[in-house]
Amino acid sequence: MNHITDKTAALYYRVAHKQQDCANLDNQMQKLLCYATEQGLNSFILYADVNQHGLNLDRPAFNALKADIEAGRVGKLIVNDVARIARNFIVMDKFIEWAQTRGVEVISITDGDLNAPPYSDISAFWRSFLKGGGRI
């Protein structure tokens, strides 16, 4: 685990069931690490929740992430896709808004920059969501 420095990038990933293929977790981690390298991020920490569903935000690593955001140590949160944050759209949206009010840029590798259109416009997000088959 990397040392948290001022305004570290947080790389968060999650799987819901132990029986899920471990390759899924490894794949998420590799995508996040590749993205961090491509973006030239030198300071980051990995937060991983295993056997944790995305219906609420009460998960061990996610709680540590929220504490680091609250303490002002995280400047950017990167996830593989928005479903890693939460499977409930309202919960996910409230968390993203909470993080943004604390100066955290939220980025989904799959879904793009969640701080810019179309995701800053809720109706555009839903149009994009439904167009993509409605997977969260």
Q: Which of 24-28, 82-86, 98-102, 132-136 is predicted least confidently?
A: 132-136
Whether pLDDT at 132 is above 90: no
φ/ψ region of 62 (left if φ > 0, alpha if ψ in -120 to 50, else beta) reads alpha
Distances (CA, A) of 78 to 19, 31, 46, 69, 127: 25, 10, 10, 13, 23
How is residue 82 written in tokens? 């928005």
pTM over 0.85: no
Q: Rounded to an integer, what distance in angstroms lies between the CA atom of residue 17 and that of residue 50?
A: 7
Confidence of residue 5 (pLDDT cuts 50, 70, 90): very low
> Residue 135: exposed, middle, or buried by beta-carbon count in 10 A (0-12, 13-18, 19+)?
exposed
- 45 forms beta bridges with 10
Q: Which residue has the higher pLDDT, 124 or 87?
A: 87
CATH number of 8-131: 3.40.50.1390
Residue 84 has pLDDT above 70, yes or no: yes
Categorize the per-residue pLDDT at 2 as very low, low, confident or very high, splitting at 50, 70 and 90: very low
Asked whether the beta carbons of 38 and 19 are under 8 A apart, the reply is no
User: Which residues have CB under 8 Å from 20's CB, separation 6+?
Assistant: none
Read off the amino acid at residue 88: N
Mean pLDDT of all residues belonging to the chain: 81
Mean pLDDT of 43-61: 90
